[in-house]
Amino acid sequence: MNKINSIITLRHFEKDEPLIIYSPELSDKVSMQMFNKIAKLNVYVYDDDSFYDLDKEITYGSNSYIIDHKPSSYRDLYVNVKDIIMIQEADIDLDNH
């Protein structure tokens, strides 16, 4: 079952827009990575290995939403923990929408 369990916001340079990545890992497991200098994150990607963007893939209805395009797989991403701005807990089931 494909499920987004955490939404992670990253920023490498101060003037850059934040990068939002979606992960199948639970947020408490991701936050435990903050004790290291480098965090290893599992993130959803498209076929071309670009980061999955859930905001671009959702069509909203009156009381529901449809996920038009699902991620192809996930990859390991290694980031400096200083670049992690926020970790949000999520519960988004990609298979049933």
Q: Is residue 97 situated within a structural domain?
A: no
**Segment 2-48, tens digit of pLDDT:** 899 999 999 878 788 899 999 999 998 988 888 889 999 999 999 99
**Segment 43-81, tens digit of pLDDT:** 999 999 899 999 899 888 888 888 888 998 999 999 999
Q: Is residue 87 situated within a structural domain?
A: yes
Give the total number of structural domains in the chain: 1
Select from 73, 95, 68 the least CA-distant residue to 23: 73
Q: 36, exposed or middle or buried, with CB in 10 Å at 0-12, 13-18, 19+?
A: exposed
Q: Is residue 68 situated within a structural domain?
A: yes
Which domain does 16 fall in, by range?
Answer: 3-92
Q: Two tokens at 74? A: 């996930």
Query: For the whole model, what pTM was predicted?
Result: 0.86
d(C-alpha 81, C-alpha 36), whole Å: 7
In 3-state terms, the chain is what percent helix, strand and coil (to 5)? 15, 45, 35
